[in-house]
Amino acid sequence: MRCPNFGQVDRPEGLCHNGKHMILKKLKKARRGERGQASIFIGLMLMTFLLFFAFVVNTGMLVNAKINLQNAADLAAYSGAAQQARTLNQISFLNYEMRRAYKKFLFRYYVLGNMAQKSFPRSGGSGPMLWSPDGSTDYQVPAVCMIFNGKDNYCQIAALQKINAPPANPLDAITTVLRAQLLNLEKLREQNCASIAKANTFLLMLWMYNTDPSFASVDPKFTTLVNLLKNLAGDLGLIPRELLLSFRIKTLEKYLNAAPQVGVDIGKVRLLRSAPDPIAQERTVNAFLSAYNTLGENSFASDSIFMDELIPTGNKGASLIKLNEIKAAFDVYAVDFEAGSGNSNNPKDCTTTLQAISTPESGLTLGFYKDPQILTYYAVRLKAKAKVMFSPFGDMELKAYAAAQPFGSRIGPPLPDDSLLVRKAIAKGKFGADVTIRRQIPNLPVQESDSAAGAGKGWDNQEIMSQLYKSMQTDLLTPIQRENFERGYHAAMGPNPWEGTRYNILNDTVPDPFMVNFDTQKNAALWAPIFPPDEMAGLSSAIKGAIHEFFAPPSGSGMAASAGLADLEASLSAGLSNYIDQLNQGRGEEGEGLKVVKITDPFTSRPNDPANAGIAAPLGSLGGMLMTDPSQYRTSWSAVPNHDAQAMGRIGYSVKFVSFHSLLNASRPADGKSGNPNNRPDGGADGDEDFIYLKH
């Protein structure tokens, strides 16, 4: 009898032995199958845990990498903006140096050129200046007249009287001899009239145009005259000095507007540092290295770190600053003794007239001001591939954006003519036919409430003239010599109350352990090339072009340059070329060179002044015309935690982070002032698609 199978019985007991065995075998096989399913389930659970663990680790690493990358981008932006701030500081210091050069010329023109006049207020006074040789004749303007012998002051007379020789009597030998002697004296008088006029005019021309401070290359026909005047004019003239300072400022402006770099990596940085003019790329190099050295090699592959500068482009590089020139055209005057008739039988008096020397119509550049519609800032995009431990896709590229800008200081204000000139109605004068008289005299405000255009304001004031005259003397009996002139120059070039909140003035007036600007001789050296080092081949033509533009008649005027101006242009070009050769050897004024400019401390006297015994001392207030309180000029923004240090104030630009939102949104400018800055960040190599997602 066959053993029934499981489907043929109602209960398990009805199964035979073999049937039971088969059932047990199937049950064991089922249990073994269940153990395989558990392994799969356990495997799935382990895999889920590992994936979750990898996700957590990767997310943590990516978050940490993103934070590090953002910190590096912030450092890059701050470093680039800090370089911009330093360059802006240098521009502001040189801009004020241009104003100081103008004040030095004013001291020469107003004080040295007129102190021999009878009306000059040597011991004080008040109200507008009276420019008069004898107290009654009114020149109405400063007029240069120098004397070289205190006992022969022809600057205090309005005319040199003629010498009348009696008619000769052939029968009277004494009368004949007397007439001959008087005729010789009359001839000598007329020659002296011409010599006085020549000396006054030549000195004024040196103050304006001299390019040979040492007078090493003098035309032999002027040797005697130069030997007489060199102690009064042994420096660069106003026009060459301002021209060279303006070239230095334009070079620094070009550095600020250096073209933005994209795809910058460590290899490109090495190339930039070895360029002919590495300073021009200092912004990019410093920014990248600040980020690169911060990231290290643990989180990011070194060869994956790239930086793009997201700054707007202009015609010749970036569009981060625009400096507008401040120009003025003016007249200055020298006393001219009009020669007599030259006829011994009918001699005439040598009467005083005013000989005008006018700047060309184009005007002389006396400074710069920053266009407020062009925002100076620095923005970057930093890219790098983060090393992710469990990523199946390899290293992951991350991006970070950051922006910063210089703030908290100034370069200088825009100056209208009434801040640089005073209009005068000249009553009389002897002028060449090719000279245009503008009746505008150089002047500057001194006190906070001054306007240079007002009568009795600025330098056109008796008290100011008296204080500057006294600054040359240690006592009233001190004779006026060359060292006295230097002392007077330094006082005249000191900061006035009007300038305190309008200019950024380099100084060491409060102790600062982190910054010392001036050496023991009270000189500061600033890197400011006259021309970019990699473009030096074009310097000569650029100088000639600038001089030609200075002398060129106004566009559309129909005027042609006179022969005299053409000769002056050629002379100035040749002289500046020779002086630049000296600068190339480091033999400029105060040891200046082509790339380094020297600035003297505007708040102290010079240690080489014989009156100082080798020690520099504060200049003092000179009756209130100079600033002495640091709070008047150390007004830049400061966030020093120490209250005492903060109370001392600081100079120069600071740096702050700014949001991309403020740079992209014209209604909320980053500087809080400019209504519609027209230099939106550029998208760089990757474009600006990410900008809409930036919320910081």
pLDDT digits (tens, 9 = 90+) for 561-613: 555 678 888 989 999 999 999 999 989 988 899 999 999 999 988 887 777 77
Per-chain mean pLDDT for the chain: 82
Strands of 443-501 (E only): list them.
Answer: none
DSSP 201-263: HHHHHHHHH---TT--S--GGGHHHHHHHTTTS-S--HHHHHHHHHHHHHHHHHHHTPPP--S
For tokens 């909320």, name the residue. 668
Quick: pLDDT tens for 259-294. 999 999 999 999 999 988 989 999 999 999 999 999
**From CA 295, how far away is CA 69, in angstroms rounded?**
7
The three-class DSSP label of residue 280 is helix
The pLDDT > 70 percentage for the chain reads 79
Between 110-114, 312-316, 544-548, 692-696, the lowest mean confidence (pLDDT) is in 692-696
Q: How many CB atoms lie within 10 A of CB 545?
A: 12
**From CA 220, how far away is CA 40, in angstroms rounded?**
110
Q: Give the residue with greater pLDDT, 216 vs 332.
A: 332
Mean pLDDT computed over 429-445: 64
Q: How many CB atoms lie within 10 A of CB 117?
A: 24
Per-range mean pLDDT, top range of 227-231, 404-408, 453-457: 404-408
**From CA 281, how far away is CA 140, in angstroms rounded?**
53
Is 90 exceeded by the pLDDT of residue 478? no
Quick: pLDDT tens for 413-427. 998 877 888 776 555
**Confidence band for 435, pLDDT divided at 50, 70 and 90:** very low
Mean pLDDT computed over 144-155: 78
Is 90 exceeded by the pLDDT of residue 171? no
Cβ(666)–Cβ(676) below 8 Å: yes
* Paired tokens of 30: 């089922």
- For residue 557, the model assigns a pLDDT of 45
> Terminus-to-terminus CA distance in the chain, angstroms?
92
**From CA 128, how far away is CA 543, in angstroms rounded?**
40
* Paired tokens of 143: 């007029």
Is 70 exceeded by the pLDDT of residue 331? yes
- For residue 77, the model assigns a pLDDT of 97
Is 50 exceeded by the pLDDT of residue 431? no
Is 70 exceeded by the pLDDT of residue 254? yes
The pLDDT > 90 percentage for the chain reads 37
pTM, full prediction: 0.86
Is 60 exceeded by the pLDDT of residue 560? no
Quick: pLDDT tens for 603-658. 988 887 777 777 888 888 888 999 988 888 888 877 777 777 777 788 899 999 99
Is 90 exceeded by the pLDDT of residue 439? no
Cβ(576)–Cβ(542) below 8 Å: no
Mean pLDDT computed over 402-422: 89
What's the angle, vertex CA 515, arms to CA 514 and CA 517, rounded to 5?
165
Cβ(117)–Cβ(136) below 8 Å: no
Mean pLDDT computed over 682-693: 74
**From CA 139, how far away is CA 334, in angstroms rounded?**
10
The three-class DSSP label of residue 690 is helix
Is 80 exceeded by the pLDDT of residue 382? yes
**Confidence band for 490, pLDDT divided at 50, 70 and 90:** very high
In single-letter form, the type of residue at position 548 comes to H
Nearest CA among 425, 440, 452 for reference residue 138? 425
- For residue 409, the model assigns a pLDDT of 92
**From CA 176, how far away is CA 166, in angstroms rounded?**
9
**Confidence band for 162, pLDDT divided at 50, 70 and 90:** low
- For residue 261, the model assigns a pLDDT of 94
Strands of 248-393 (E only): list them.
Answer: 306-309, 313-314, 317-318, 323-328, 331-338, 350-358, 364-370, 378-386
The continuous run of DSSP H or E covering 397 comes out as strand 396-407
**Confidence band for 35, pLDDT divided at 50, 70 and 90:** low
Q: Give the residue with greater pLDDT, 170 vs 384.
A: 384
Angle between helices 282-295 and 266-273 (to 10 degrees): 140
Q: Give the residue with greater pLDDT, 192 vs 568.
A: 568
The continuous run of DSSP H or E covering 21 comes out as helix 17-106
Mean pLDDT computed over 320-344: 82
Instruction: Burial-class residue 523 by CB neighbours within 10 Å (0-12, 13-18, 19+).
Output: middle
Count H helices and E strands in the chain, helices first: 12, 16
| Domain residue extents for the chain | 6-53, 64-81+259-322+373-410+658-693
Per-range mean pLDDT, top range of 15-24, 458-467, 674-683: 458-467
**From CA 630, how far away is CA 648, in angstroms rounded?**
7
- For residue 581, the model assigns a pLDDT of 92
Instruction: Burial-class residue 638 by CB neighbours within 10 Å (0-12, 13-18, 19+).
Output: middle
- For residue 192, the model assigns a pLDDT of 65
Beta bridge partners of 264: 307
